Protein backbone atom coordinates (compact mmCIF):
# COMPACT_ATOMS: atom_id res chain seq x y z
CA UNK A 1 0.00 0.00 0.00
CA UNK A 2 2.87 2.38 0.85
CA UNK A 3 4.37 1.96 -2.61
CA UNK A 4 1.03 2.48 -4.31
CA UNK A 5 0.60 5.71 -2.33
CA UNK A 6 4.11 6.90 -3.19
CA UNK A 7 5.27 6.73 0.44
CA UNK A 8 8.45 5.21 1.87
CA UNK A 9 8.58 3.85 5.43
CA UNK A 10 10.69 5.88 7.85
CA UNK A 11 13.68 3.53 7.89
CA UNK A 12 14.02 3.84 4.09
CA UNK A 13 13.01 7.49 3.78
CA UNK A 14 15.92 8.56 6.02
CA UNK A 15 18.43 7.20 3.54
CA UNK A 16 16.44 7.51 0.29
CA UNK A 17 18.92 8.52 -2.43
CA UNK A 18 18.53 11.67 -4.51
CA UNK A 19 19.40 9.66 -7.59
CA UNK A 20 19.06 6.02 -8.60
CA UNK A 21 22.04 3.97 -7.33
CA UNK A 22 21.94 1.91 -10.51
CA UNK A 23 21.53 4.35 -13.42
CA UNK A 24 22.07 7.75 -11.80
CA UNK A 25 18.67 9.21 -12.75
CA UNK A 26 17.68 12.00 -10.32
CA UNK A 27 14.81 10.98 -8.03
CA UNK A 28 13.99 14.15 -6.17
CA UNK A 29 10.90 12.93 -4.31
CA UNK A 30 9.78 9.64 -2.85
CA UNK A 31 7.08 9.46 -5.50
CA UNK A 32 9.61 9.78 -8.31
CA UNK A 33 11.98 7.35 -6.60
CA UNK A 34 9.24 4.72 -6.37
CA UNK A 35 8.06 5.32 -9.95
CA UNK A 36 11.61 5.01 -11.19
CA UNK A 37 12.32 1.88 -9.12
CA UNK A 38 9.38 0.14 -10.82
CA UNK A 39 10.73 0.73 -14.33
CA UNK A 40 14.54 1.07 -14.07
CA UNK A 41 16.13 -1.61 -16.23
CA UNK A 42 19.40 -1.49 -14.29
CA UNK A 43 17.96 -2.22 -10.89
CA UNK A 44 18.68 -5.64 -9.37
CA UNK A 45 15.03 -6.68 -9.17
CA UNK A 46 13.78 -4.78 -12.19
CA UNK A 47 11.43 -5.49 -15.08
CA UNK A 48 13.13 -8.67 -16.35
CA UNK A 49 13.15 -10.25 -12.88
CA UNK A 50 9.48 -9.27 -12.39
CA UNK A 51 8.46 -10.63 -15.81
CA UNK A 52 10.19 -13.98 -15.26
CA UNK A 53 8.80 -14.36 -11.74
CA UNK A 54 5.30 -13.76 -13.08
CA UNK A 55 5.71 -16.20 -16.00
CA UNK A 56 6.99 -18.93 -13.68
CA UNK A 57 4.34 -18.28 -11.03
CA UNK A 58 1.46 -18.57 -13.54
CA UNK A 59 2.98 -21.74 -15.02
CA UNK A 60 3.35 -23.18 -11.53
CA UNK A 61 -0.24 -22.59 -10.50
CA UNK A 62 -1.64 -23.91 -13.80
CA UNK A 63 0.47 -27.07 -13.47
CA UNK A 64 -0.75 -27.50 -9.92
CA UNK A 65 -4.28 -27.57 -11.34
CA UNK A 66 -3.35 -30.28 -13.85
CA UNK A 67 -2.54 -28.28 -16.98
CA UNK A 68 0.57 -29.05 -19.02
CA UNK A 69 2.56 -25.90 -19.75
CA UNK A 70 5.74 -25.20 -21.66
CA UNK A 71 7.74 -22.09 -20.79
CA UNK A 72 9.42 -20.26 -23.69
CA UNK A 73 8.43 -22.84 -26.34
CA UNK A 74 10.68 -22.86 -29.43
CA UNK A 75 8.06 -24.64 -31.52
CA UNK A 76 6.40 -21.43 -32.79
CA UNK A 77 9.56 -19.63 -33.91
CA UNK A 78 9.42 -20.94 -37.49
CA UNK A 79 5.97 -19.40 -38.02
CA UNK A 80 7.09 -15.78 -37.53
CA UNK A 81 7.70 -13.96 -40.77
CA UNK A 82 9.67 -10.94 -39.54
CA UNK A 83 12.98 -12.79 -39.38
CA UNK A 84 13.10 -12.70 -35.57
CA UNK A 85 13.11 -15.96 -33.61
CA UNK A 86 10.22 -14.96 -31.31
CA UNK A 87 8.97 -17.23 -28.57
CA UNK A 88 5.77 -16.68 -26.61
CA UNK A 89 6.45 -16.88 -22.86
CA UNK A 90 4.13 -19.78 -22.13
CA UNK A 91 1.87 -22.24 -23.90
CA UNK A 92 -0.78 -24.37 -22.21
CA UNK A 93 -0.72 -27.57 -24.23
CA UNK A 94 -3.24 -29.84 -22.51
CA UNK A 95 -6.24 -28.28 -24.25
CA UNK A 96 -8.10 -29.17 -27.44
CA UNK A 97 -6.48 -26.07 -28.90
CA UNK A 98 -3.29 -24.96 -27.10
CA UNK A 99 -3.25 -21.38 -25.81
CA UNK A 100 -0.05 -19.34 -25.87
CA UNK A 101 0.58 -16.11 -24.02
CA UNK A 102 3.24 -13.48 -23.56
CA UNK A 103 3.56 -11.54 -20.31
CA UNK A 104 4.32 -7.88 -19.72
CA UNK A 105 4.37 -5.79 -16.57
CA UNK A 106 4.37 -2.19 -17.71
CA UNK A 107 5.14 1.01 -15.87
CA UNK A 108 1.86 2.79 -15.19
CA UNK A 109 1.42 6.08 -17.06
CA UNK A 110 0.91 9.00 -14.73
CA UNK A 111 -2.76 9.18 -13.64
CA UNK A 112 -3.72 6.82 -16.47
CA UNK A 113 -3.90 3.27 -15.14
CA UNK A 114 -4.57 0.76 -17.89
CA UNK A 115 -3.27 2.72 -20.87
CA UNK A 116 0.21 1.17 -20.89
CA UNK A 117 -1.08 -2.36 -20.36
CA UNK A 118 -3.65 -2.02 -23.17
CA UNK A 119 -1.00 -0.68 -25.55
CA UNK A 120 1.30 -3.56 -24.66
CA UNK A 121 -1.50 -6.10 -25.25
CA UNK A 122 -2.15 -4.61 -28.67
CA UNK A 123 1.56 -4.76 -29.60
CA UNK A 124 1.81 -8.37 -28.45
CA UNK A 125 -1.19 -9.36 -30.55
CA UNK A 126 0.45 -7.80 -33.62
CA UNK A 127 3.71 -9.64 -32.90
CA UNK A 128 2.42 -13.10 -32.00
CA UNK A 129 -1.15 -13.80 -33.08
CA UNK A 130 -0.69 -14.68 -36.76
CA UNK A 131 2.32 -16.92 -36.13
CA UNK A 132 0.74 -18.73 -33.18
CA UNK A 133 -2.53 -19.26 -35.06
CA UNK A 134 -0.60 -20.57 -38.07
CA UNK A 135 0.77 -23.22 -35.74
CA UNK A 136 -2.76 -24.23 -34.71
CA UNK A 137 -2.84 -22.52 -31.32
CA UNK A 138 -4.60 -19.46 -29.86
CA UNK A 139 -2.71 -16.40 -28.69
CA UNK A 140 -3.94 -14.20 -25.83
CA UNK A 141 -1.55 -11.72 -24.18
CA UNK A 142 -1.22 -11.33 -20.40
CA UNK A 143 -0.53 -7.66 -19.66
CA UNK A 144 -0.36 -5.94 -16.29
CA UNK A 145 1.03 -2.78 -14.77
CA UNK A 146 3.61 -2.66 -12.01
CA UNK A 147 1.24 -0.92 -9.58
CA UNK A 148 -1.19 -3.84 -9.95
CA UNK A 149 -3.55 -2.91 -12.80
CA UNK A 150 -4.72 -5.99 -14.70
CA UNK A 151 -5.63 -5.64 -18.38
CA UNK A 152 -8.61 -7.61 -19.71
CA UNK A 153 -6.19 -9.64 -21.83
CA UNK A 154 -4.87 -11.41 -18.72
CA UNK A 155 -8.38 -12.20 -17.51
CA UNK A 156 -9.29 -13.48 -21.00
CA UNK A 157 -6.26 -15.77 -21.08
CA UNK A 158 -7.16 -17.46 -17.80
CA UNK A 159 -10.88 -17.61 -18.67
CA UNK A 160 -10.03 -19.43 -21.94
CA UNK A 161 -7.66 -21.85 -20.25
CA UNK A 162 -10.25 -22.89 -17.65
CA UNK A 163 -13.38 -22.84 -19.82
CA UNK A 164 -13.69 -26.62 -20.08
CA UNK A 165 -13.39 -27.14 -16.33
CA UNK A 166 -16.51 -27.31 -14.14
CA UNK A 167 -17.62 -23.85 -13.01
CA UNK A 168 -16.63 -24.20 -9.35
CA UNK A 169 -13.18 -25.45 -10.34
CA UNK A 170 -12.71 -22.76 -12.97
CA UNK A 171 -13.51 -20.09 -10.38
CA UNK A 172 -11.00 -21.61 -7.96
CA UNK A 173 -8.22 -21.63 -10.59
CA UNK A 174 -9.06 -18.05 -11.59
CA UNK A 175 -8.77 -16.98 -7.94
CA UNK A 176 -5.53 -18.89 -7.50
CA UNK A 177 -3.97 -17.19 -10.52
CA UNK A 178 -4.97 -13.66 -9.66
CA UNK A 179 -5.41 -13.48 -5.92
CA UNK A 180 -3.67 -16.19 -4.01
CA UNK A 181 0.06 -16.72 -4.37
CA UNK A 182 0.38 -15.78 -8.00
CA UNK A 183 -0.20 -12.49 -9.82
CA UNK A 184 -0.92 -10.14 -6.91
CA UNK A 185 1.70 -11.69 -4.63
CA UNK A 186 4.35 -11.76 -7.38
CA UNK A 187 3.78 -8.12 -8.30
CA UNK A 188 3.78 -7.11 -4.64
CA UNK A 189 7.00 -8.92 -3.92
CA UNK A 190 8.66 -7.50 -7.04
CA UNK A 191 7.61 -3.94 -6.09
CA UNK A 192 9.07 -4.32 -2.62
CA UNK A 193 12.33 -5.76 -3.90
CA UNK A 194 12.72 -3.07 -6.56
CA UNK A 195 12.06 -0.18 -4.18
CA UNK A 196 14.37 -1.53 -1.49
CA UNK A 197 17.02 -2.15 -4.10
CA UNK A 198 16.65 1.45 -5.32
CA UNK A 199 17.03 2.77 -1.77
CA UNK A 200 19.91 0.60 -0.60
CA UNK A 201 23.24 -0.19 -2.16
CA UNK A 202 23.42 -3.85 -3.15
CA UNK A 203 25.92 -4.56 -0.34
CA UNK A 204 23.51 -3.17 2.26
CA UNK A 205 20.62 -5.13 0.76
CA UNK A 206 22.56 -8.43 0.83
CA UNK A 207 23.82 -7.70 4.35
CA UNK A 208 20.19 -7.26 5.37
CA UNK A 209 19.46 -10.74 4.01
CA UNK A 210 17.61 -9.45 0.92
CA UNK A 211 14.20 -11.01 0.64
CA UNK A 212 15.35 -14.51 -0.18
CA UNK A 213 14.99 -16.17 3.20
CA UNK A 214 11.27 -15.72 3.65
CA UNK A 215 11.45 -13.33 6.58
CA UNK A 216 12.03 -10.35 4.34
CA UNK A 217 8.44 -9.34 3.69
CA UNK A 218 7.79 -9.13 7.42
CA UNK A 219 10.91 -7.09 7.92
CA UNK A 220 9.73 -4.65 5.28
CA UNK A 221 6.09 -4.99 6.21
CA UNK A 222 5.26 -1.33 5.60
CA UNK A 223 5.98 -1.76 1.91
CA UNK A 224 4.26 -5.04 1.23
CA UNK A 225 0.91 -4.44 -0.44
ZN1 LIG B 1 17.69 3.67 -12.29
* pLDDT tens readout for residues 72-97: 999 999 999 888 889 999 999 999 99
CA of residue 24 to ligand 1 center, whole Å: 6
Residues with C-beta atoms within 5 A of ion ligand 1 = 20, 22-23, 25, 40
CA of residue 34 to ligand 1 center, whole Å: 10
**Per-residue three-class SS string for the chain:** CCCCCCCCCHHHHCCCCCECCCCCCECCCHHHHHHHHCCCCCCCCCHHHHHHHHHHHHHHHHHHCCCCEEECCCHHHHHCCCCCCCCCCEEECCCCCCEEECEEEECCECCECCHHHHHHHHHHHHHHHHHHHHCCCEECCEEEECCCCECHHHHHHHHHHCCCCCHHHHHHHHHHHHCCCCHHHHHHHHHHHHHHHHHCCHHHHHHCCCCCCCCHHHHCHHHCC
**Rounded to the nearest 10 degrees, how much is the dihedral formed by the CA atoms of 182, 12, 49, 95?**
10
CA 104 to chain centre: 6
CA of residue 100 to ligand 1 center, whole Å: 32
CA of residue 73 to ligand 1 center, whole Å: 31
Give the pLDDT mean for 198-212. 58
Q: What is the pLDDT of residues 25-36, one digit of tens each?
A: 887 788 888 888
CA of residue 199 to ligand 1 center, whole Å: 11
CA of residue 10 to ligand 1 center, whole Å: 21
pLDDT of residue 209: 53
CA of residue 56 to ligand 1 center, whole Å: 25
pTM > 0.85: yes or no:
no
Q: What is the pLDDT of residues 173-182, one digit of tens each?
A: 999 998 766 8
CA of residue 211 to ligand 1 center, whole Å: 20
Amino acid sequence: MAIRCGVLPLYLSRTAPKSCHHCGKPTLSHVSLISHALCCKFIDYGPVFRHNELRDAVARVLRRHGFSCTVEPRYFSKYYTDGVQHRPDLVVTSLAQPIATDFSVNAQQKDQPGVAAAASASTKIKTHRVAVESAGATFIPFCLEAHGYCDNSAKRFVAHVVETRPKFEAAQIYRDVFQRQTVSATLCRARVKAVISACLHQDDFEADGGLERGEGIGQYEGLAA
